[in-house]
A and B are shown apart, each in its own frame.
Chain A
Amino acid sequence: MKRIHKVLVANRGEIAVRVLRTCRRLGLRTVAVFSDADQDAPHVRLADEAVRLGPAPAKESYLSIERVLAAAAASGANAIHPGYGFLSENEDFARACTKAGLVFIGPPADAIELMGNKRQAKLRMQAADVPCIPGYEAARPGESLDDEALVREGKRIGFPLMVKAAAGGGGRGMRLVREPGALLDAIRSARSEAENAFGSGELILERAIEGARHVEVQVFADEHGNAVHLGERDCSIQRRHQKVVEESPSPAVTPVLRERMGAVAVQAVRAIGYRGAGTIEFLLAPNGNFFFMEMNTRLQVEHPVTELVTGLDLVEWQLRVADGEPLPLTQPEVTFRGHAIEVRLCAEDPAHGFLPQTGRLLAWVPPAGEGVRVDHGVREGQDITPFYDSMQAKLIAHGPDRETARERLAAALRELTAFGVTTNGTFLQHVLAHEAFRSGRYDTGFVAAHTPPETLCALGQASAEDQAILAALLFHDDAMALAGRGGFDTTLAGWSSSCALPVPIVLNDGASEFRASVRPVAPARYEVHVGDSRVALSLRSIAAEHAEIEVAGRRRAVRYRRAGGALWCSLDGVTRHLRDVSFRPPSERERASDGRLRAPMDGRIIRVNTEVGATVARGDVLVVLEAMKMESSLVAPIDGVVSAVNVTVGAQVPARHVVAVVSPEQKGEA
């Protein structure tokens, strides 16, 4: 490289690792940055050196321009790769890099600024003859974007209608409106959300195109006036406007359409004097029409699918372009081979509204295999913190055709071991296996249509046989651990000189609970009852925390890890976190009490908050007692009605004196 010799990667997680790899491959020196939450993260270990940015919150670390630049100065880096997210689309950062004499590996700051505003971007694209979604963005001078104008224009455009924050992203400040009556409310709430999120309440309107797909085109331009496209990616499978599954090519794009979309995309980047990697996002209508949505002025999360079908390293291209080189290939030299699909593995719980999950990653074994690529930035033992994005890894599979890629990816997901933190792995498998996905006929409504909450809750629900296996596995692991600790031969585990007893086990997988009774019948052989079914199984240890289970002649492998009483395990590719609640006492609420409220020590009554006949709830403070200069609150031990108050304010009571009695409310009595 002529200019770039030491690259600071201003990011974390999988993308930092991915960028560092290419830098290292090209012989560049590397600098990682990290927050306190990432001290031992893989990207830190991979770089030649690393600089601490600050505390865990992104604002004080990865989002701080000042600190990132200070890290570059301290380490002597002369180029900065921003990755995606964080500062990657921040024009101030791009400018600050240039000002500090650093090569910003990304587009010119002006392009970032332009594309950062949906309204400005759209106006510019319209000017460049790029097809845009019909809507209203106050294109002509004098036109207003106030509520009144928007309501009027909205009614003109028609419904369904999208209200979008001009500065928006990630679905925030965005509303789908189906009828005129709801428009004003939607405008107001979107505006206030946008003001809070982006500091700008500017809104535009677009016709909502139903049944559309999200298809984006990867583009590259250099400072010598060259621009190419690298094909499209279909990112229609989204939840909450965030992509989950991406593929290239799109099942909906024909070679002719690809050429047209590609040409339009190249036309768009040329129009704005773009440089580096960019993505033009289009909405592809069912009738084959496509419209510009927005442009991402950075490397995309889903860039690996493009890399796999083109055989290129997009980070290498970014570095070369930033270094002033011309694009390595001309458009005719860009070829596409096979099909690639990517899934985003996130620490989140699909059964509970995709709630982000945190915790310690107890086991992490990424899958491997022909055509499989895993980009990740985590390691075993690492804490998944709430400070950053929930995406932990990307699994990408390439194959000569779509079905091969799909099957390879599904197999990779099944093989993946990720214990300690709940992920969307099972959900992703569900998507890949779904008929709508298999057929390729899907749109952005996929998740809403095919994964209703009840489906999400039922994902990975264990059959009776699987429940039996899980209970036996827990039993067996406990038994083996005991044999080690108790110093007896493992063949003696579960043995009884009379008759081995069935042992009750209750397991909770977060979504549901099941009971099993496990009876050892011979070394490593069990008879398990779950509900009305009886399962006879045998268990063989293959390696540490890896066992083979045989039921009725069928052998299945199971990988697992213990975390205290809990069991993490992966059976047939379904990862479960099972808590052992066999000894759980009845809930506090069910606790019986005689309802007598006793003085805990000798003291004086200073307050009486209740009277006979009052209805009280458990925990209500009924009487306050003062003793040894301390006040003690005496609370109702149960829900019920106060049937006796034996003290008055000022009374001196001995310890254990019954000060009041609460009788449980009799249900059904008048």
Chain B
Amino acid sequence: MPTLVSRIEKDSSVFTTQRKEMLARVAELRAIEQKSRDTEQQAREKFQQRGQLLPRERLALLLDRGSPFLELSTLCGYKHHDDTDGSLAGGNILIGIGFVSGVRCLVNVTNSAIKGGTATPWGTQKVLRAQEIARENRLPVVSLVESGGANLLYQQEIFIPGGETFYNQAKLSAAGIPQVTVVHGSSTAGGAYIPGLSDYVVMVRGKAKVFLAGPPLLRAATGEVATDEELGGAEMHATLAGTADHLAEDDADGIRIAREIIASLGWNDALPPSSRSAFEPPRYAAEELCGVVPVDYRRPYDCREVIARLVDGSDFTPFKDDYDALTVCGWARLEGRSIGIIGNNGPITPRGATKAGQFIQLCSQARTPIVYLQNTTGYMVGTQSEQGGIVKHGAKMLQAVANATVPQVTILLGGSFGAGNYGMCGRAFHPRFIFAWPNARTAVMGGEQAAKVLSIVSAEKARRAGQPVDEAALAWMSQPLIEQFDRESDAFHCSARLFDDGVIDPRDTRRVLGFILATCDEAERRTLSPNTFGVARL
């Protein structure tokens, strides 16, 4: 394979400025994440008094020591709904992929240290996405549950999607994907169906509460007087109702039991070994990624500079470079696994669209996963482009992306505008995974572009009506629009709405991709044992 040669001058002012700006964005990301961890710490004393572990402590104990952890959507719900000051990012739930008893699992821990772990609208969407990840990647699910139920202020946004999480639980069970749930505290009303629909249930003695109606609601409904423990305590469920399979003495004990359950699955016993080959690290340091890419998406750069810092040995075999230079396609290996890469060095032209469409089909034919390095202002406009069939060719590219039979993974590392977002496998096109850099911008178009369109249309309208064009008024009108687009296209805002699976440090990109490709590879090799109705709790 030809080796990429970087043209970056590391001591140039461009590099150092870009690096400084990117690191500032990374710092912002980490600061937001830290804020919600600080919020959790306020609950520390309360948890200690109750003899409970904080949710992150539960997570730390659940994961194998040294397990890599790909955390999903740490910015979920950031500055949405009741997160007015941006201190509650994460959607009151901690979700990620990591190893439990040597098994790659999707783990899901209610963040009961924030607002009692109540379900939020975006947090519910995060759970739905996680279930999709578990299904597509054939990952057992371990949930550590403790939740005050849905935030009733937002019930309208939670009620129906919340129901879909139960639907998914049933479907996962039927698909042959085991779900293990430890109930550490309340999981009542709708929440009761989380353990109810799980294949394995552990409840913590004296802490778990699982019932449809608690004492006050019961008394109001039927007049019966009963205690929490009688209605849904761990002991009751373990000895009478049979909702729980295991009774744990405390949080750590429950986690120990969950780990033992996963260990006893023998999940990897029949898994054929991976065929990935030995590999070299890239010739250029990942650390340089922050200086290679400008934070401002309007400034062009060569996406091969990014590829050179992601792939094994910086080796890259280009595809049809001479046919179209703006859409970069080619093959490389990442941590010993073959991948196809599609990147952008400009708008997608009709030629670029056909080149990419063909490349996607080639990758599907050879069962090669595709990595999209998305930095696009969209498909090329203009008479030449339109007459060249950009709609037709662009549509064919979308068809290829939508119907590709290989795992597709997208990294948003700059602009993500217009149909370019679709064609480069944005969220709407169901990539297996999609992560964003903190400088990413996602919107139907750029803010200034939108403002300009608006003022041209308005001026045109005025002209047709025979009115004078008030340039000052148009400028005054377009400013809020620019601001709106800027705000809404911001990576953190987009990640809050789950346009991606999380914002990552650019320097982590190779690790993230390596971990994801290994996850996809493992799923490819795994045969599930589906059943018709899921495992019923009898």
- Using CB atoms and an 8 Å cutoff, list the residues of chain A in contact with chain B: 474-476, 478-480, 482-483, 485-489, 492-505, 518, 520, 582-586, 590-594, 598, 656
Contacts and interface: CB of A to CB of B under 8 A. Distances in A.
A500 to B, nearest CB: 8
23 contacts: A478-B66, A479-B67, A482-B64, A483-B66, A485-B102, A486-B99, A486-B104, A492-B514, A496-B70, A497-B96, A499-B30, A499-B37, A501-B56, A501-B57, A501-B63, A501-B69, A503-B65, A504-B60, A582-B61, A583-B61, A592-B249, A593-B235, A656-B239
B69 A495 contact: yes
Contacts of B252: 582-585
Interface stretch (B138-146, B475-483, B504-512): B504-512
Contacts of A500: 69
Contact of A498 (B33, B65, B240): B33
Contacts of A590: 249
B335 interface: yes
Interface residues of B, number: 51
Contacts of A585: 248-250, 252-253, 256
B262 interface: no
A420 B11 CA distance: 56
A583 B250 CA distance: 10
B255 interface: yes
A583 B68 contact: no
Contacts of B248: 585
A494 B74 CA distance: 18
A582 B61 CA distance: 9
Contacts, number: 122
A480 B255 CA distance: 22
A659 to B, nearest CB: 14
Given A583-B61, A594-B229, A496 B71 contact: yes
Interface in B52-86: 56-57, 59-61, 63-71, 74
B352 interface: no
The 8 closest A-B pairs by CB, nearest first: A479-B66, A583-B256, A478-B65, A585-B253, A501-B60, A498-B71, A493-B66, A496-B69
B253 A583 contact: yes
Given A494-B67, A504-B61, 14 more contacts: A475-B65, A478-B65, A479-B66, A482-B64, A488-B68, A488-B514, A494-B68, A495-B69, A496-B69, A496-B70, A583-B255, A584-B252, A585-B256, A591-B205
A497 B71 contact: yes
B206 interface: yes
Contacts of B61: 503-504, 582-583
A586 B251 CA distance: 10
Interface string B224-258: 00000100010100011000000011101101100
A598 B249 CA distance: 20
B523 interface: no
Contacts of A489: 335, 514
B301 interface: no
A84 to B, nearest CB: 48
B102 A495 contact: no
B68 A656 contact: no
Contact of B253 (A502, A504, A586): A586
Nearest to B255: A583
A482 B66 contact: yes
Interface in B93-135: 96, 99, 102, 104
The listed residue with most B CB atoms (<10 A of its CB), out of A502, A585, A593, is A585
A495 B68 contact: yes
A496 B240 contact: no
Contacts of B504: 497
B531 interface: no
A522 B16 CA distance: 24
A487 B57 contact: no
A660 to B, nearest CB: 16
B43 to A, nearest CB: 16
B66 A475 contact: yes
Contact of A586 (B104, B250, B335): B250
Interface in B484-498: none
Given A487-B518, A585-B256, A482 B60 contact: no
Contacts of A583: 61, 252-253, 255-256, 259
